[in-house]
């Protein structure tokens, strides 16, 4: 069989095209995956702060509520408590990874309320 020497350029061109497609896919997916990871961390932080606020609301009596600053996953969170009859209001304020101010407000109806 005779070997065709004119095929060397076509193989190199096919290799370059395949490599270009792989790079295009990678450079498209990497920023998307980074954004997904950042948003996942923000949502996880929100869930943990909401859970912490929920626990703090249930642990104390209305007279023992004081505003305080706690740390949740290396984030400073300010907890503010108010007594609004017949409910107790608790809010959490913090700055997320993107530098945006966030707030969660929960209301609690205590079972030990005087009637």
Looking at residue 62, what is its pLDDT? 60
Looking at residue 4, what is its pLDDT? 60
Domain residue extents for the chain = 5-108
Across the beta sheet with 68-72, the strand order is 68-72, 75-84, 87-95, 101-108
Residues 6+ apart with CB under 8 A from 28: none
Residues 6+ apart with CB under 8 A from 92: 49, 50, 52, 53, 77, 78, 79, 80, 103, 104
Looking at residue 12, what is its pLDDT? 83
Looking at residue 35, what is its pLDDT? 95
Consecutive sets of 10 residues in the chain, 115 residues long: mean pLDDT of each?
61 90 95 95 95 88 76 91 85 93 91 56
Looking at residue 85, what is its pLDDT? 78
């Amino acid at each position: 069989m005779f070997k065709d020497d004119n095929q060397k350029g076509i193989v190199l061109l096919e290799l370059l095209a395949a490599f270009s497609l792989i790079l295009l896919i990678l450079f498209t997916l990497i920023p998307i995956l980074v954004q997904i990871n950042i948003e996942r961390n923000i949502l996880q932080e929100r869930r943990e702060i909401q859970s912490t606020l929920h626990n703090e609301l249930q642990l104390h009596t209305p007279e023992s509520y004081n505003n305080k600053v706690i740390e949740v996953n290396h984030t400073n969170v300010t907890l503010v408590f108010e007594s609004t009859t017949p409910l107790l209001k608790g809010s959490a304020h913090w700055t997320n990874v993107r530098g945006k101010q966030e707030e969660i407000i929960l209301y609690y109806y205590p079972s030990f309320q005087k009637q």
